[in-house]
């Protein structure tokens, strides 16, 4: 009985000591956290001063997504002997020059994808990887400061595909106007004088025109997160059928060193492309289509996979 009492007293003393030790550690941790928060604020302030200095800023991040599979005599599905795959790659890069009186911003977005669906029981199907997603955007913006957050600017932007139908269609916007930069990472371009050059084999559908250009770009890195959102619109003065817009959003989260996960999705509205696609798929002998015959359906794509930041 005496041993039991002694053991109980020792156990209570141990619990009391542990509780006291935990409280002491918590008390010791609090000022350390406050000190870290203070140091982080000082570091952020220094970084803000560095970002405000003249000079080049460059960076890039990309996403690689893919899957490969093979089935052999898997009779529960319609194609029991099947090899399939999906591979996608995106790259987002920028090179920006900031000076006291002017700036020059350059951006690149590439998204390429390949798909494979090989039915080994069908000798006539295509067993190779075929082009899937195909996006190429490049832009260059020059601005001359006329106020703290306002500049007179000129923009050149080119959009096309690389793997299939290069420059058919291709779009080149050249215009002048103003650029507003309300915060460090946000750029709003408004160019009321812009010419949209359209390059394509089918001149009856694709037509160049004069119009207004609006571009909004937000690019930022917060710790392990890379983020970019780019909206590019053209409003034709001649006809709304010649207008178009593209909105691309890219996210990257670094998990280990420069490797992480990435996600990108894009939306587009372009009635000229819709009419061209419907015309190419018309039955032989059918009457030609016009813009009034087609609906301007929303185009979209997305990619999820591994991410690498440069």
- Report which of 40, 62, 60, 52 is spatially closest to residue 185, judged by C-alpha positions: 52
Low pLDDT (below 70) residues in the chain = 1-20, 44, 47-53, 309-310
| Two tokens, residue 170 | 């291709």
Determine contact, residues 25/52, Cβ cutoff 8 Å. Answer: no
pLDDT of residue 15: 47
- Collapsing DSSP to helix, strand or coil, 211 comes out as strand
3-state secondary structure 55-121: EEEEEEEEEEEEEEEEECCCCCCCCCCEEEEEEEEEEEEEEEEECCCEEEEEEEEEEEEEEEEEECC
Burial of residue 119, with CB atoms counted within 10 A of its CB: 0-12 exposed, 13-18 middle, 19 or more buried? middle
Q: How many helices (H) and strands (E) does the chain have?
A: 2, 12
Q: How many Cα atoms are found within 13 Å in the side-chain-facing hemisphere of 43?
A: 7
Instruction: Report pLDDT for 78.
Output: 73
- Cβ proximity of 27 and 19 under 8 Å: no
Cα–Cα distance list, 103 to 40, 47, 100, 190 (Å): 29, 20, 8, 16
To which residue do tokens 């203070």 refer? 38
CA distances from 137 to 158, 201, 240, 243 (A): 6, 20, 22, 17
Q: Residue 207: which of 196, 217, 191, 193 has the closest Cα? A: 196
Query: For residue 197, which of 236, 245, 142, 239 has the smallest C-alpha distance?
Result: 236
Structure tokens at 56: 């080049």
Per-residue model confidence (pLDDT) at position 239: 93
What pTM, to 2 d.p., does this model score?
A: 0.77
Strand pairing report for 209-222 and 102-119: unpaired
The answer to whether 82 touches 118, Cβ cutoff 8 Å, is yes
In CATH, the number for domain 54-309 is 2.40.230
- The burial of 22, by beta-carbon neighbours within 10 Å (0-12 exposed, 13-18 middle, 19 or more buried), is given as exposed
Token match 């991410």: residue? 307
Question: In this structure, what token pair is assigned to residue 112?
Answer: 């390429």
CB 253 within 8 Å of CB 271: no
């Amino acid at each position: 009985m005496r041993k039991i009492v002694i053991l109980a007293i020792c156990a209570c003393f141990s619990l009391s000591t542990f509780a006291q030790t935990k409280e002491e550690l918590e008390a010791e941790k609090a000022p350390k956290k406050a000190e870290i928060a203070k140091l982080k604020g000082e570091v952020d302030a220094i970084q803000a001063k560095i970002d405000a200095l003249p000079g080049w800023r460059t960076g890039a991040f990309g996403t690689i997504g893919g899957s490969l599979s093979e089935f052999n005599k898997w009779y529960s599905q319609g194609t029991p002997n099947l090899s399939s795959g999906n591979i996608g790659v995106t790259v987002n890069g920028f090179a920006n020059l900031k000076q006291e009186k002017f700036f020059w911003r350059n951006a690149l977005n590439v998204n390429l994808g390949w798909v494979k669906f090989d039915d080994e029981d069908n000798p006539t199907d295509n067993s190779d990887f075929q082009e899937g997603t195909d996006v190429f955007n490049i832009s260059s913006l020059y601005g001359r400061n006329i106020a703290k957050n306002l500049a007179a600017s000129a923009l050149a932007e080119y959009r096309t595909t690389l793997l299939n139908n290069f420059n058919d269609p291709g779009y080149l916007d050249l215009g002048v106007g103003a650029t507003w930069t309300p915060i460090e990472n946000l750029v709003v371009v408004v160019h009321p004088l812009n010419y949209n050059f359209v390059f394509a084999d089918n001149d009856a559908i694709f037509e160049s025109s004069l119009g207004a250009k609006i571009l909004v770009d937000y690019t930022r890195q917060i710790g392990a997160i890379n983020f970019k959102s780019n909206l590019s619109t053209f409003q034709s003065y001649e006809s709304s059928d010649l207008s178009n817009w593209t909105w691309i959003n890219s996210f990257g989260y670094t998990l280990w060193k420069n490797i992480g996960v990435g996600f990108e999705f894009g939306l587009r509205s372009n009635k000229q492309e819709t009419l061209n696609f419907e015309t190419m798929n018309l039955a032989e002998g059918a009457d030609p289509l016009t813009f009034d015959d087609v609906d301007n359906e929303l185009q979209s794509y997305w990619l999820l996979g591994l991410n690498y930041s440069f």
